[in-house]
């Protein structure tokens, strides 16, 4: 059971570079999410996808784009990285368990923008 | 703004002691969940309590929910060094989005 898989685990970018964070889940979940976590703060929602073919902005979407490629995959793209985007990024998916929604998380991507 | 806010922000206890963390939230909820995050790792689901439940147990974990005060507490009994982690409460928003608080960092000294 792989669950939620994120790649890469670590990345260093120069200001202005672009990159795509990949996320895949094998639990047949409809909803997927991208969060960022900064030191001393909780997870903040960047974008989410309620179902295949739909994406919506979360709390902090500026500077990011997403693609729900299919039901399994949800990617996060930084078009022009900025130092303020240095953070740990988590992908998550949600599914029902016993009638309630439970979130499953990837291991995170530690991104440094210099 | 954060839906869930944990208190305290950090907690340091001796192994064997109990650890209590609190969470407050703002809007009506169907359920509240607690997650654990070990350093540098993703979050792991611990326990879910429904809005019509007042208390729930899972091993050494005890969660309470007071919907009138919009608050929840997580109690870890007989703590172990391996319980050292950050603990987050999370509440659903808009039907399926999950909003997380800033977390409580628990340090259990051996």
Q: Is B45 within 8 Å of chain A by CB?
A: yes
Which residues, 6+ apart, have CB-to-CB distance to A43 below 8 Å? A35, A36, A37, A90, B43, B88, B100
Instruction: Chain B: give the shortest CA distance to residue A28, in Å.
Output: 15
CA nearest to B98 within chain A = A103
SS3 labels along chain A: CCCEEEECCEEEECCCCCEEEEEEECCCCCEEEEEEECCCCCEEEEEEECCCCCCEECCCCCCEEEEECCCCEEEEEECCCCHHHCEEEEEEEEEEECCEEEEEECCCEEEEEC
Question: A16-40: per-residue pLDDT in tens?
Answer: 999 999 999 999 998 899 999 887 7
Question: A2-18: per-residue pLDDT in tens?
Answer: 799 999 999 999 999 99
pLDDT over 60 (residue B1) = no
CA nearest to B102 within chain A = A42
Question: B9-68: per-residue pLDDT in tens?
Answer: 899 999 999 999 999 988 888 889 999 988 877 888 899 899 999 999 999 999 999 999
pLDDT at B79: 97
Between the alpha carbon of residue A93 and those of residues A27, A29, A72, B86, the distances in Å are: 9, 6, 10, 20
């Amino acid at each position: 059971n792989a669950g939620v898989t994120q790649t890469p685990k670590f990345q260093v970018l120069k200001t202005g570079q672009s990159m795509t964070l990949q996320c895949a889940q094998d639990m047949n979940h409809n909803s997927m999410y991208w969060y960022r976590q900064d030191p001393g703060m909780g997870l903040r929602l960047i974008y989410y996808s309620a179902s295949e073919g739909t994406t919506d902005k979360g709390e902090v979407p500026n500077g990011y784009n997403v693609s729900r490629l299919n039901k399994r995959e949800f990617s996060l793209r930084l078009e022009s990285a900025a130092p303020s985007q240095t953070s740990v990024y988590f992908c998550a998916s949600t599914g029902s368990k016993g009638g309630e929604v439970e979130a499953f998380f990837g291991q995170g991507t530690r991104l440094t923008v210099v | 703004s954060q839906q869930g806010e944990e208190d305290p922000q950090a907690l340091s206890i001796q192994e064997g002691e109990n650890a209590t963390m609190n969470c407050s939230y703002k809007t009506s909820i169907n359920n509240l969940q607690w997650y654990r995050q070990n350093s540098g790792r993703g979050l792991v689901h611990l326990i879910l309590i429904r809005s019509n439940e007042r208390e729930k147990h899972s091993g050494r974990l005890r969660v309470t929910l007071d919907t009138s005060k919009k608050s929840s507490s997580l109690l870890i009994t007989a703590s172990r060094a391996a319980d050292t982690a950050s603990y987050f409460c999370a509440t659903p928003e808009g039907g399926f989005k999950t909003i997380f608080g800033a977390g409580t960092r628990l340090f259990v000294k051996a």
